[in-house]
């Protein structure tokens, strides 16, 4: 689904918002800190250029790209020792403020407690007991940074999360060497273009998984290079599920409000069976009952032989499944967010995503994955799919 026109980079939290006042662009602008995560770990960040030649990149000049960006979010015991910094690149923040009708300077002042290049946890290189997760952002944005709230929550409980951003697709990205890349205009009405972006996501995922063990050795990091979970938002959610079909390194897939693309995902027969655990968590639109409500969310589940969970959240729209659901608690200007309270939606996503990943990667069962929950009455469980 379309987020912006196409240029981008971002983050978030739940409760206890801390505000302070700062001078920006000659005027007083209220700056808001993203709420803290609930786990015992702090959040370290490391950004890397992944070199990979792709002669079939539908958005790149001459359809050829040579690299993409991997941002690794990892648990650390190091406490932040400096003031919180803006979690969005200034170029990206300006683009989003214009696109979403926010007050100029608003997103530029939202800060996070992310720590770039913080010390790793102790442990053997590549041998951490904490699982690794791959994350894919929405098609055309927001990029990985625009999903910092959920990613930080997972990392605070021990997961390492690797977010993959592809240049030219996102509104704005900055490589580790400081080079900035603006996105191109994308025709979201073209199924060929969407399929092309989806295909690139699968290629990037496979390329990163091939290189990941070498990167871990270079970093001397205790990141697990096996037993990996896959999740994503919007088109990134579809690609997260599509990637797990034929790659034994990926254990499970989770789709946050993503319409499905790719041959196997849209098939209405046994070839759609992933044979691995999958969870769909989406907006009211994604009932799957007909073409208006994304029929693939109705057909795909019927063929799954491993665990499959389908949940929708009352009061949500598409942008409630990324950081914008938190932004609207400060400035509710995005018409593609619903009436649900943003902090409540953050809590719902944290609970259901963590429960599924704990179940599939750590073997921890959770009742909320198998039925309706009195604790989360906004969440609709589709028991006819089990």
Percent pLDDT > 70 in the chain is 90
Q: What is the mean pLDDT of residues 165-178?
A: 95
Q: What is the mean pLDDT of residues 44-61?
A: 96
22: pLDDT strictly greater than 90: no
- pLDDT of 74-91, one tens digit each? 999 999 988 888 999 999
Q: Taking the CA atoms of 168, 137, 197 and 48 in sequence, report the sign of the dihedral they define.
A: positive
| 3-state secondary structure at position 66 | strand
Q: What pLDDT was estimated at residue 236?
A: 97
pLDDT band at 386 (very low <50, low <70, confident <90, very high): very low
Q: What is the pLDDT of residue 36?
A: 84
Angle at 276 between CA 255 and CA 318, to 5 degrees: 5
Least confident among 21-35, 51-65, 322-336: 21-35
Mean pLDDT of the chain: 89
156: helix, strand or coil: helix
Q: Which residue has the higher pLDDT, 34 or 361?
A: 361
Predicted confidence (pLDDT) at residue 97 exceeds the cutoff of 70: yes
Mean pLDDT of 260-275: 93
CA-wise closest residue to 91 among 163, 34, 44, 145: 145
Q: Is 370 helix (H, G, I), strand (E, B) or coil?
A: coil
Lowest mean pLDDT, pick from 184-188, 298-302, 368-372: 184-188
Cβ pair 48, 176 in contact under 8 A: yes
**Of residues 237, 178, 199, 8, the one with CA closest to residue 107:** 8
Long-range CB contact pairs, 175-183, < 8 A, 24+: 175/49, 175/67, 175/69, 176/47, 176/48, 176/49, 176/69, 177/49, 180/89, 180/91, 182/7, 182/91, 183/6, 183/7, 183/8, 183/59, 183/140, 183/141
| CA–CA gap between residue 73 and residue 153 (Å, rounded) | 11
Query: Looking at the predicted structure, is the pLDDT value of residue 19 above 50?
Result: no
Question: How deeply is 378 buried, as exposed, middle or buried, from its count of CB atoms within 10 A (0-12, 13-18, 19+)?
Answer: middle
Please state whether the predicted TM-score (pTM) of the whole model is above 0.75.
yes
Q: How many residues does the chain have?
A: 386
Band (pLDDT 50/70/90 cuts) for residue 333 is: confident
18/24 Cα distance (integer angstroms): 18
Write out 242-303 in H/E/C secondary structure: HCCCCCCCEEEEEEECCCCCCHHHHCCCHHHCCCCCEEEEECCCCCCCCHHHCCHHHHHHHH
Ordered by where they begin, the domains of the chain are: 18-385 (3.40.50.1820)
pLDDT (0 to 100) of residue 130: 86
**∠ CA 282-286-289, rounded to 5°:** 150
What pLDDT is stored for residue 30 in this prediction? 60
């Amino acid at each position: 689904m379309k987020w912006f026109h196409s240029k981008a980079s971002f983050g978030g939290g739940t409760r206890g918002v801390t505000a302070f006042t700062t001078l920006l662009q000659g005027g007083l602008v209220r700056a808001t800190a993203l709420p803290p995560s609930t786990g015992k770990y702090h959040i370290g960040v490391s950004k890397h250029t992944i070199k990979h030649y792709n002669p079939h990149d539908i958005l790149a000049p001459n359809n050829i790209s040579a690299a993409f960006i991997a941002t690794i979010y990892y648990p650390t015991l190091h406490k932040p020792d400096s003031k919180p910094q803006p979690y969005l690149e200034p170029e990206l923040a300006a683009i989003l403020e214009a696109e979403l009708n926010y007050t100029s300077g608003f997103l530029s002042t939202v800060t996070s407690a992310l720590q770039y290049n913080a010390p790793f946890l102790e442990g053997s290189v590549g041998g951490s007991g904490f699982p690794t997760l791959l994350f894919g952002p929405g098609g055309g944005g927001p990029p990985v940074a625009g999903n910092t709230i959920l990613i930080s929550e997972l990392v605070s409980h021990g997961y390492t999360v690797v977010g993959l951003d592809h240049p030219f697709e996102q509104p704005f990205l900055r490589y580790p060497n400081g080079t900035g890349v603006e996105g191109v205009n994308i025709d979201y009405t073209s199924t060929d273009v969407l399929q092309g972006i989806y295909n690139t996501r699968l290629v990037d995922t496979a390329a990163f998984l091939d290189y990941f063990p070498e990167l871990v050795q270079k970093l001397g990091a205790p990141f697990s290079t096996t037993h990996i979970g896959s999740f994503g938002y919007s088109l990134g959610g579809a690609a997260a599920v599509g990637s797990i079909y034929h790659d034994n390194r990926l254990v499970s897939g989770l789709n946050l409000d993503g319409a499905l693309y790719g041959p196997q995902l849209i098939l209405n027969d046994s070839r759609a069976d992933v044979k691995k655990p999958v969870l769909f968590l989406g907006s009211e639109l994604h009932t799957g009952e007909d073409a208006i409500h994304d029929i693939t969310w109705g057909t795909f589940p019927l063929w799954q032989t491993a665990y499959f969970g389908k949940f929708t959240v009352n009061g949500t729209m598409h942008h409630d499944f990324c950081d914008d659901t938190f932004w609207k608690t400060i400035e509710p200007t995005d018409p593609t967010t619903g009436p649900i309270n943003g902090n409540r939606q953050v809590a719902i996503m944290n609970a259901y995503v963590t429960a599924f990943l704990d179940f599939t990667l750590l073997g921890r069962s959770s009742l909320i994955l198998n039925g309706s929950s009195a604790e989360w009455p906004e969440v609709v469980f589709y028991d006819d799919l089990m």
